[in-house]
A and B are shown apart, each in its own frame.
Chain A
Amino acid sequence: MGRTPRQHDRARGAVKRGLLLAFVWVVLTAGARDGLILGLAVVPAATWLSLHLLPYGGAVRLWRLAALLPGFLARSLVGGLDVAWRAFHPRMPLAPGWMERASRLPDGGRVALGGELSLMPGTLAAGSRGGRIILHVLDTTQDNAATITREEARLAALAAPEGRS
């Protein structure tokens, strides 16, 4: 009673994270009975720790994340094929270079974007300076800016409208 919507969101976030960790626990213990009993202590503790280290920051829509997954896997496959092709090619077609780019994503989002871009064809994040992501690219002749714009838009769509930065 008298809960503000914000608190409500946070409680939901905690429950979601707890369920996720509970699932991981069941997988780890292979559903063994004594494992489940221990889980009653472990899962809440892990949830608390997880919320402590990474506070709830706006709902990430899990199903939207799941919807992104196939495309992400496909593109990281392309990324792997691309780099494998360059590695095996006798002349090694590389044109490495750097680029910097402003990002409107919040902090955590930038790390996620960097991680994702590091798995995409030809781009590799090397941290950020003053809100600008520094990227190493394998081939300066390909359209890397388009890749970044695309990935950023995908990640931005993940954060729910009500989620603040």
Chain B
Amino acid sequence: MLELATDALTVALTAAGLVFFLAGTVGLIRFPDTFSRLHALTKADNLGLGFIVLGLALQAESWHAVFKLGLIWALALVAAGTAAQLVARTALRADEGGRPTRQAEGRE
């Protein structure tokens, strides 16, 4: 019974992960400009991986498998957060001709 519930939860979580991956791909294809696509990529696929990791952690055979899953996700998360700004910055330099028009100026 408990095992059935865990399995159901695993299926639900991994399915949610798939949806986010799909969202990332759809955004990557549909969004009009490079930077908007980068939004889709960074946010959606990390959640996708996160949900899949969560779902699989429930099925893990040992505690270190759980931690290893966590490690993989943390690595992907930090890498994506950092890589996103690096790629964004490089892309910004690449089309430096069109300097960003600041439509919304931050306070301060």
Contact = CB atoms under 8 A, between A and B. Distances in A.
Contacts of A88: 23, 26
B104 A97 contact: yes
A102 B108 contact: yes
Interface residues of A, number: 47
A98 B101 CA distance: 6
Secondary structure type dominating chain B contacts: helix
Given A92-B31, A136-B88, A118 B42 contact: yes
Interface residues of B, number: 47
Contacts of B91: 126
Contacts of B85: 111, 114-115, 118, 124-127
Interface of B: 19-20, 23-24, 26-27, 30-33, 35-36, 38-40, 42-44, 46-47, 62, 64-65, 67-68, 71, 77-78, 80-82, 84-86, 88-89, 91-92, 100-108
The 5 closest A-B pairs by CB, nearest first: A115-B81, A127-B89, A101-B106, A84-B23, A80-B47
Interface of A: 24, 26-28, 30-31, 76-77, 79-80, 82-84, 86-88, 92, 94, 96-102, 111, 114-116, 118-119, 121-122, 124-127, 134-138, 140, 144-145, 148-149
